[in-house]
Structures are given as structure tokens and as C-alpha cells.
A and B are shown apart, each in its own frame.
Chain A
Amino acid sequence: MAGMAVAILDYNAGNVTSVAHAVRRLGFDAQITADHDTIRAADHVIFPGVGAAATCMQVVRERGLDVALKEAVESGKPVFGICVGMQLLFDHSDEDGGVDCIGLLPGRVKRFELDDPTLKVPHMGWNPVRFVDGEPIARDLVGAADTACYFVHSYYCDPDPSVEVIATADHGHAFCVGVRKDNLVALQCHPEKSGPVGMSILSSFLEAN
């Protein structure tokens, strides 16, 4: 399995290098790319990112990465959205005054509006995550005492009830941390920055085919 090609989509978002480092550390060949042929040839596709939705969507469209992502999902290969890369998969984000996103998943992205003044936004730091039983990317976390992952975000995904939620966490209220639709999986937290737990998640994703 080692040496398989992983395409990490390049749309000027932050954090892309960290994902490449993590993938390489696990023994896979990571390429940060916006080239459609490279994405087609890859065994796995990761859509990472930190950044503002409007700016990110603009670059995604300019580079045709929305089209490339849809094609990758339809091809059946494993595709992983991370943080903003998860949010952009939905129909619409409320960030930046409202942005239409890629629309691979029904639902919208909302800002945390919390009454409790001790709860801060951005939601930044380590938060325990509840994964649903049987979720493949969490297969090695079963029974783990600590499933805390690293988060940095002010907006969260509110999927349509038809979307399969695979993980949740609490920040003022329970919110959706992960979704899956067949070969497409996405997490709000950053596995590439979540220590041993994150490495286990990435490794489980990369070993799926």
C-alpha cells in the first residue's frame, strides 16, 4: 500500500503543507496539486484547508477543483475533506456574507452563536470527538480513552438530515464534526495536527480503497 499517490488539492488555502507532511510520514507519496490529470491518477484525494470560505471558493472555481472533486467522488476513490475542505462540500456557507459552495452534500455552514461568554469563537484547541460505531476512519480508535482532535474554526456544518453524520463534538451545543457519503468522508477537525489520534485517522483513510 505504501507509495500510493495521494493528491492534496492546492487552492492557496493554509495548512496544505502540514497535510503533505503527515501523509508522507505515513509512507505515502503526497502531491500538492491543482492539476486535473494528477488528481485523476491519484489513489486518494485530500481536500484540506484553513481560510475564509469566499476566497477559498473563488480559487477552487478558478482552478476547476469543484469539477475535479466531483469527478474524483464519482470515480469511487477515497476522498477526504478537512476543515474548510469539509465546509466547501456543502451547498452554502454563511461566512463572508454568504457563499455558494460546491454542493456535493446537502446542508449549510453556520457560525457558532453562543450565549455562554466563557465559550470562545473561534473554537480553537483540542476537543474530544464521538465517532459512530463502525466508521472506517475511526476503526483504530475503538475503546481509545482519548479521542481529542485539534480544531480551529468559527463556522460548523449543519448537514441536511439525509447526510450520514459520523462524528460529533460539543461547543455550547453538539455539532457535526464528520460526515460520510460512500467514498467521500469529511472532518471539521485537523487529523494532520491531532497527534497520534489524527495519525490513526489519516492512516485508516489512506489504507481504504
Chain B
Amino acid sequence: MALLKRVIVCLDVRRGQVTKGVKFQGNVDLGDPVEYAIRYDEQGVDELVFYDITASAEDRNLFLDVVENVAASIRIPFSVGGGIDSLDSMRSVLLAGAEKVSLNSPAVRNPDLLGKGAAAFGAQCIVLGVDAKKVDKTDAIPSGYEVVIQGGRTPTGLDVLQWVTEAEERGAGEICLNAIDTDGVRDGYELTLTRMVADAVGIPVIASGGGGEPSHLTDAVTTGGADAALVASMVHYGDYTVEQIKAEMAADGIAVRVSAQP
């Protein structure tokens, strides 16, 4: 009767539409975020993540409308990422109804944001999003995984393990760990990286990037040691429902929530 492993669905939102790209490129629009959110809630997803992948002020307001409409329409927690770079931007999405905010590049540029956000809203609301890329092991990057920002375009010289440990100390309440090399490829999560991070921090870790079939999620929470696994393509394109994923995980012996009714 302990904590269940979570299945999280990630929705990238651009100009009010759910969109999906491969390795951060070639996005196609899929449809209305609220409709997607309701469908996944009914399928028994444990949590949703909405990323605002545009940055213009006009689109920002459109995105906040999406957040409000989602909050009014679903019965499960969700977090919001993308463009969160100040206490004000955190406050605006939390007031719009999100449970948590996810900070990625802005946390690298301004690590104080993590502590300030945790003090203002509680550590449980502050998710550190990390995009990690496999590199040669060096003195500067002993883990062999480097933090990259701006959607994977810009290397930072930061070691992933050092960064997540620092972020935990500063007040992050959860880590969403996205492996750039496996993102969108649907060939399985980066299990070595996931395990390394899960062992290094005392806060929950979400494995992201590479989920293509239910066994991948089982691997992420067993071999990878993650508390949750994030999926996108494998459910957006209709290959699997969340229910099917969870049924297979349950058959693998993973304790997951099975939603009894819509």
C-alpha cells in the first residue's frame, strides 16, 4: 500500500494546439489540449505536463487560457513548463490552476529561481526539468552526461549529476529528466542516466525521452529506478492508451493506479 509508480503524459502546446516533434524538430499540430487532457484523465493517466513551446507574449496569454480550461476540465494534477522564468510567471500558471511548475533553461541561467520558487510556493511545486546529453567523460563532466538548454541546442558545461544535486539543495521538489539522445525515438528510456540520477537525489525522478512501448516504462521504474515515466508520441498517435500501458505494467508486477471508471 505504498506509493504507486506514475504514468505521466506530456503535451507540447504551440499557439493553443497540442504539437509533437522528433528530437525537438519538425513539429506537427495534433489538436485541442483540453480534449487531449480529458481523454487521458478518463484513461487513468496519473498526471499531465503541458509545455508552452512558444515564447511570444501573445501566445503566452493563449497558453494561460489553455491552462485555465484544462484546470476546469480534469480531475488529476498537472504541471506547466516552458517560459517559466520568474516568480511572476510561476504565480500566473499556479493561479491558473496548475499544481506544479517546471523550470529548465531559466533555472540554469538563474539557479536562485529554484529557492525563491520553493520559498514562495513550496518545494512540492517546483520541478526541475533537465535536458541531458551523453558526452565523453571529462573532469568537468565526470558523469558523462551534460546539461543542455534551449531545447537541446546549447551545451552548458554542467554535469547532470552535479546540477540535479545542487537543484535539490536549492529547493527543487522533483526532477523531470529528459534524455535528448532518446527523445522522440521511442526505443526506450536512457536507463543508465535515469538510475544515476534517481540514486543521487532524495526527490522523485520522472524518466522522459524514449518511451515507445509499455515495457519501456516498466524498465524506467525498475532498472532506471524512476518514480514516474513520461510518455508522449506513444499515446498521442493512438498506438497505446494509458489504460493499456498500465495494464501491461501491472502484468509486469509494477504497482500502478487502475482507474475503475471514467
Contacts and interface: CB of A to CB of B under 8 A. Distances in A.
Nearest to A121: B202
Nearest to A83: B124
A125 B258 contact: no
B167 interface: no
- Main secondary structure on chain B at its contact with chain A? loop
Interface residues of A, number: 42
B122 A50 contact: yes
A13 B192 CA distance: 39
Given A50-B125, A124-B174, A195 B4 contact: no
Contacts of B228: 125
Contacts of A121: 202-203
Interface stretch (A69-77, A86-94, A97-105, A149-157): A149-157
B251 interface: no
B3 A127 contact: yes
Contact of B121 (A14, A124, A190): A14
A120 B6 contact: no
Contacts of B142: none
Instruction: Give the most central of A18, A22, A122, A124: most B CB within 10 Å.
Output: A124
Contacts of B97: 17-18, 21
Contact of A196 (B95, B124, B125, B261): B261
A154 B75 contact: no
Interface string B164-191: 0000000001100000000000000000
A177 to B, nearest CB: 11
Contacts of B174: 122, 124
Contact of A170 (B1, B75, B124): B1
A18 B71 contact: yes
B158 interface: no
B71 A120 contact: no
A25 B97 CA distance: 15
B108 interface: no
Contact of A120 (B1, B72, B203): B203
B152 interface: no
B213 interface: no
A33 interface: no
B49 to A, nearest CB: 14
B3 A195 contact: no
Given A21-B97, A22-B75, A126 B122 contact: no
A196 B259 contact: yes
Given A120-B203, A124-B204, A193 B76 contact: yes
B152 to A, nearest CB: 27
Interface stretch (A3-11, A140-148, A180-188): A140-148
B4 A193 contact: no
A85 B214 CA distance: 38
10 contacts: A120-B203, A124-B173, A125-B6, A125-B46, A127-B4, A150-B76, A152-B99, A171-B3, A195-B257, A198-B75
Interface of A: 14-15, 17-18, 21-22, 25, 50-52, 117-128, 130, 144-146, 148, 150, 152-154, 169-171, 190, 192-196, 198-199
Interface of B: 1-4, 6, 41, 44, 46, 71-72, 75-77, 94-97, 99, 119, 121-125, 173-174, 202-204, 225, 227-228, 257-262
